[in-house]
Amino acid sequence: MRLFAVVLVLITALLRFNPRSGALHIALWLAKLLATGLVLPMALLNGAMALVGVKRRDWLLLLAGGAGSAIATHHLINVTRSRDEQFADAFGDDWQQQLSPTIKPLLRKQRWRPICYRRFNGVLRQNVSYGRNPDSKRPLYADILQPPDNIPRSGLALIYVHGGAWTFGSRNIRKFPYFRQLARQGHLIMDIDYTLAAQTSLIGMVMDVKRAILWLKAHADEYAIDPDRVVLAGQSAGGHLSLLAAYTPNLPALQPPEMTGDTAVCGVLSFYGPPDMQALHSDMEEKFLRRLSPQVKDGIAEVVKRTQPKRPFTGIGVSALMGGSPAEIPDIYRLLSPVVHVDADCPPTLLLHGDHDGLVQARETAVLYEKLREVGVTAVYLNFPDCEHSFESTLPQLSPAAQVAAYYTERFLALL
């Protein structure tokens, strides 16, 4: 039991540990994510160890269990605290009174509860083709979740763009419980695939996102949505593409050449999407990858190759993705950095980021937030203490951080 208590407190302590070493960060990343998702069970287990220590007069059990319980409880309190003040700063002190009386009763009542389970409800259409990428010559597909038949339509549509370093991943509309909750509030969710690296450029990817916007607006009557109430949301690479598409409506360099129409959206949400590609290059290649041994780099490259066997391998790192370094192609880095396109016409923005994120630095999201506020854009920045990259997608039914993110996501959408 002593060994179990020591191992448990060490795992719990990962919540407070923010590794600076690139290799160590990779090694502990999954463990930190699991600790974030399972923080309540760990608090209870550590507390039980402490009680056993008291009963047995075992000081090691008492100290280990007490320390672990304190760390987990501290994390739980911090991530579940109210962020209402940030919404008041953006929308006004009466922001809760601005919520639609139709949707307000359907919003989740608590920021967090021990288990958040929602059965999958709504009308789901899968493998809907919304266009074709001219580089890959392949059709683009989406899954569309519509509200249940007995729920009044809100008219709002959310286009979700998955993450995966612009290289991996695919749509998975069953992944997040809050998709089901949003459908119960009358919203439509369109979860899209986009063309990944090696088959198209980053410019081609953002054009795919805009193809989804144009397609959905063209089918607004069919899906009972308001074409002026389309919102973009994305995670990591998908957050970057969502911000970039939202901040560059109708910009010729990023518009799909074969389609016409207005690609403006009424809001955008980014879960730790990189806002500045030059800063990402510096953080990833000059500070992160440089710290990795050649063996670790080779291992990462091998994983990338195996996960995309049908696509040519272009290397790892931002330079491989962008086609060069910032010194070589500065105009491309500027074009593909959302922060460069910030102006007063940007749509309302919700930014969510964990402050232990080692892949995309939270300080860059804070810079984007400040620039948005400087030009008068309605923006909310929610920082999640001790949380890692992908914090909201790991055990979302249990994770307090994931549930708090969903709680405020619902309210942000209800205010648009």
User: Which residue type is seen at 275?
Assistant: P
Helices (H), 17-58: 22-37, 39-56
* Per-residue pLDDT, 175: 83
3-state helix, strand, coil in the chain (%, to 5): 45, 15, 40
Supply the pLDDT for residue 283.
82
Q: What is the mean pLDDT of each run of 10 residues along the chain (416 residues)?
A: 87 86 77 93 92 89 92 95 96 93 89 75 92 94 94 95 92 87 94 93 97 98 96 97 98 95 97 96 70 58 59 68 91 97 98 93 96 98 95 91 96 96
Which residues lie below 8 Å from residue 153, measured CB to CB, with a gap of 6+? 147, 186, 188, 224, 225
Taking the CA atoms of residue 187, residue 193, residue 197 and residue 199 in that order, the dihedral angle to the nearest 10 degrees is -140
The strand pairing partners of 190, in sequence order, are 144, 159
Closest by CA to 17, choosing from 353, 363, 360, 356, is 356
In angstroms, the CA 270 to CA 89 distance is 19
pLDDT at 378: 97
What's the pTM value of the predicted model, to 2 decimals? 0.92
State the Cα–Cα distance between residues 213 and 231, nearest whole angstrom: 9
